[in-house]
Amino acid sequence: MLESVLALGGLVLLRDSVEWEGRSLLKALIKKSALRGEQVHVLGCEVSEEEFREGFDSSINSQLVYHDLFRDPLNWSKSPGPVTIALDSLSWLLLHLPCTTVCQTLHALSHQDSRPGDSSPVEHVHVLGLLHGELHGPGPMGTLSALARTEVTLSGTRSQASAHILYRRPQQRPTHETHWFSILSDFGVDLQGVSPLKSQPHPDPLTPPVDPTTHLTFNLHLSKKEKEAKDSLTLPFQFSSEKQQALLCRGLGQATSHIFYEPDAYDDLDQEDPDDDLDI
């Protein structure tokens, strides 16, 4: 019976119920496949590896590759410390998978440290990807460049390798650095120097600075006498202390002003009601 079930290949569906469980039959089919010399991969979600391997003898167990999704499928037990994922290479992935899939996966991988509502401290996930520059067009290259927080471009002159590093820190301007380095035999890095921050192009040393005030048809310079006259000039609307004194002391030589008034016969000089319009 087992052979006829396995004969056709493809997908074999085992439907069981609570009363009649199917795991024993699954294990019998696995044993049959293993005895035929096939390697068996098990994606285990429902039982532990020990329980699944129970009942198989050692020869069959050695052919069984168990992929454990049972122990911690939802990642509730926080893996201690930061994780680094190295992709060798991204170029291979880009050649075999659509660019969108690769970018979405990279984004999901590298943003695992920002889970909403997670009160535990941020776990840093580092994703290192190797990309061969000549293989891809400007589209995929630009997309991956936009995804990356740090981008290292390798080049060099003659015998010296250089790494041009672009840092994209969040909410800050991107900064550049260029390091000259070599890799040692034990994969240590020997740094030979850092180039200065390249924020402006270097001025060309061949052309001297030009003085724009030469060869003019008008005079921009002041003689010494003209400078003195200029400095001693009081501006008309500037309230200097001299002006203040001049305004205040104007009445020194003059008599104070006085008003002479002779009232008519009809004048009613009522200080309380000078216009005579109060109706009391």
Partner 1 sequence: MFPELNNLLNTSPDSVEQGTLTLLCDAGTDGSFLVHHFLSFYLKANCKVCFVALVQSFSHYNVVGQKLGVSLTSARERGQLVFLEGLKSSVDVVLRAEAEPHPLGFLREAGAGNLQPLYEFVREALEPVDCREAAWRSPVLLVDDLSVLLGLGVGAVAVLDFIHYCRATVCCSLQGSIVALVHDSGDAEDEESDVLLNGLSHQSHLILRAEGLATGFCRDVHGQLRILWRRPSPPTAARRDRSLTFQYKIQDKSVSFFARGMSPAVL
Specify the residue, 115 or 198, whose C-beta has the smaller distance to partner 1. Answer: 115
Number of shown-chain residues binding partner 1 (CB under 8 A) = 19
Specify the residue, 48 or 100, whose C-beta has the smaller distance to partner 1. Answer: 48
Q: Residues near 99 by Cβ (< 8 Å), separated by ≥ 6?
A: 139, 140, 143
- Whether 137 and 153 have beta carbons less than 8 Å apart is answered as no
- Whether 178 and 162 have beta carbons less than 8 Å apart is answered as yes
Sign of the torsion angle spanned by Cα atoms 236, 238, 240, 243: positive
Candidates 67, 68, 49, 6; CA nearest to 31 is 6
Site for partner 1 in 51-70 (CB under 8 A): 51, 54-55, 70
Specify the residue, 119 or 157, whose C-beta has the smaller distance to partner 1. Answer: 119
2 binds partner 1 (CB under 8 A): no
- Whether 105 and 96 have beta carbons less than 8 Å apart is answered as no
13 binds partner 1 (CB under 8 A): no
| Secondary structure of residue 83 in the 3-state scheme | strand
- Residue entry with tokens 């509730």: 76
121 binds partner 1 (CB under 8 A): no
Instruction: Return the bridge partners of 189, or none.
Output: 183
From residue 278, alpha-carbon distances to 72, 268, 273, 274, 275 in Å are 98, 14, 7, 9, 8
Instruction: Return the bridge partners of 157, or none.
Output: 160
261 binds partner 1 (CB under 8 A): no
What residue type is 178 in one-letter code? T
Residue 46 CB, nearest approach to partner 1 (Å):
7
Residues 222, 212: Cα–Cα separation, whole Å: 17
Pick from 36, 37, 50, 223 the residue near partner 1 by CB under 8 A.
Answer: 50
21 binds partner 1 (CB under 8 A): yes
170 binds partner 1 (CB under 8 A): no
Helix (H) or strand (E) holding 165, with range, is: strand 160-167
Specify the residue, 19 or 186, whose C-beta has the smaller distance to partner 1. Answer: 19
Region of 17-25, 90-98, 161-169, 198-206 interacting with partner 1 (CB under 8 A) = 17-25
For residues 221 to 260, the per-residue mask of contacts with partner 1, x marking binding by CB under 8 A and - elsewhere, is: ----------------------------------------
115 binds partner 1 (CB under 8 A): no
72 binds partner 1 (CB under 8 A): yes
Residue 180 CB, nearest approach to partner 1 (Å):
49
Pick from 3, 46, 204, 277 the residue near partner 1 by CB under 8 A.
Answer: 46
- Whether 12 and 28 have beta carbons less than 8 Å apart is answered as no
Pick from 5, 14, 23, 124 the residue near partner 1 by CB under 8 A.
Answer: 23
Residues in contact with partner 1 by the rule CB under 8 A: 16, 18-19, 21, 23-24, 46, 48, 50-51, 54-55, 70-74, 76, 119
